[in-house]
């Protein structure tokens, strides 16, 4: 089935140790999003790609970077994770074509723990 896959589902890292989260999709959608969701809070958009066009939110910390080497894959790199970066990280995709909207398909998320 076409879907959005995130790996790993659970990631434990140490304070300051770089970590990479991955997202892949078989939907051939042109837009991919990364959200951070902390406990009891709404998902917060970190950045999104419209095709290869990267869009960073103004308040996304510099510690967070992203790569999209091709349509199917997108990575979230956290260069020096702090305790405050512990959260669920959600990847989503959508197909943006005229007359349609961002019906988003979310992956299952990666829960990041920082020790």
Contact residues for other proteins (CB under 8 A)?
A: 31, 33, 41-45, 48, 50, 55, 57, 90, 92, 96, 101-109
Smallest distance, other proteins to C-beta of residue 15, A:
27
Least distance from C-beta 98 to other proteins, angstroms?
A: 13
Residue 91's Cβ-count burial label (10 Å; 0-12, 13-18, 19+) is buried
Minimum CB separation from other proteins for residue 102, in Å? 6
Question: In terms of CB distance, is 44 or 79 closer to other proteins?
Answer: 44
Any idea which residue has 């951070």 for tokens? 36
Distance, in Å, from the CA atom of 4 to the CA atom of 25, rounded to the nearest integer, reads 4
Q: Which is nearer to other proteins, 15 or 50 (CB)?
A: 50
Residue closer to other proteins (CB basis): 58 or 83 = 58
Closest approach, Cβ 80 to other proteins, in A, equals 26
Task: Give the Cβ contact number of residue 103 at 10 Å.
Answer: 10
Nearer to other proteins, 26 or 80 (CB): 26
What does the angle CA 18 – CA 22 – CA 115 come to, to the nearest 5 degrees? 35
* Radius of gyration of the chain, Cα coordinates, nearest whole angstrom: 14
Nearest to 91 by CA among 51, 30, 46: 46
């Amino acid at each position: 089935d076409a879907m959005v896959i995130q790996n790993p589902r659970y990631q434990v890292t140490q304070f300051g140790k770089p970590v990479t989260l991955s997202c892949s999709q078989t939907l051939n959608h042109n837009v991919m999003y990364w959200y951070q969701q902390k406990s009891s809070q709404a998902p917060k958009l970190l950045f999104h790609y419209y095709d290869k066009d990267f869009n960073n939110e103004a308040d996304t910390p510099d510690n967070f970077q992203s790569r999209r080497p091709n349509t199917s894959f997108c990575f979230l790199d956290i260069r020096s994770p702090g305790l405050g970066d512990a959260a669920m990280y959600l990847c989503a995709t959508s197909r943006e074509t005229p007359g349609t909207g961002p019906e988003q398909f979310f992956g299952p998320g990666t829960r990041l723990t920082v020790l």
